[in-house]
Amino acid sequence: MSEPASENEAPRGKPMRNFLFGLIFGWISLTAVYQFHLVRNEDGFMVVPKQTASVASTYADTREWTALDWSNHPQLKQSMIAHGHSDLVPSLPDLPNLDLPQEWWKWWESK
């Protein structure tokens, strides 16, 4: 007759099951990170599909973002607009394309 397992011994199937569970959980998590933006706004959390798979802007708290903040996250901005959330994305005012600092100051002073 075989000896009963001691208290310090792990059951035979558990290490492999734990490994497989971790592998599957990791794969699902990585897929979610590459495919979706998790956005927090005034209404709560929302999940928005990404336009292209990347790890950029996986999580963004946009509650206090300005139009300049949105312009620094173009992938997130494009995804929000493409999936019908353009009302949550403010836009920058149209500024003239002035290359020379003197022309820019002239334009600024005229406003």
CB 40 within 8 A of CB 48: no
In a domain, 23, yes or no: no
Rg (CA), the chain: 25
Write phi, then psi, for 41 (nearest 5 degrees): -130, -170
> What's the pLDDT score for residue 47?
95
Distance CA 8, CA 71 (A): 57
Q: For residue 47, give its domain range.
A: 37-90
Check pLDDT > 90 for residue 44: yes
53 is a domain residue? yes
Confidence at residue 48, expressed as pLDDT on a 0 to 100 scale = 95
- The pLDDT score that the predictor gives to residue 6 is 60
Task: State pLDDT tens for residues 2-40.
Answer: 555 566 665 666 888 999 999 999 999 999 999 999 999
Res. 104: pLDDT tops 90:
no
Determine the pLDDT at residue 33.
92
Domain assignment of residue 68, yes or no: yes
Residue 30 lies in a domain: no
Threshold 0.85, pTM exceeds: no
Q: 51-99 pLDDT, tens per residue?
A: 988 888 899 999 999 888 888 898 999 999 999 998 888 876 655 554 5
> Can you give the pLDDT at residue 2?
53
Q: What's the total number of domains in the chain?
A: 1
Does residue 29 sit within a domain?
no
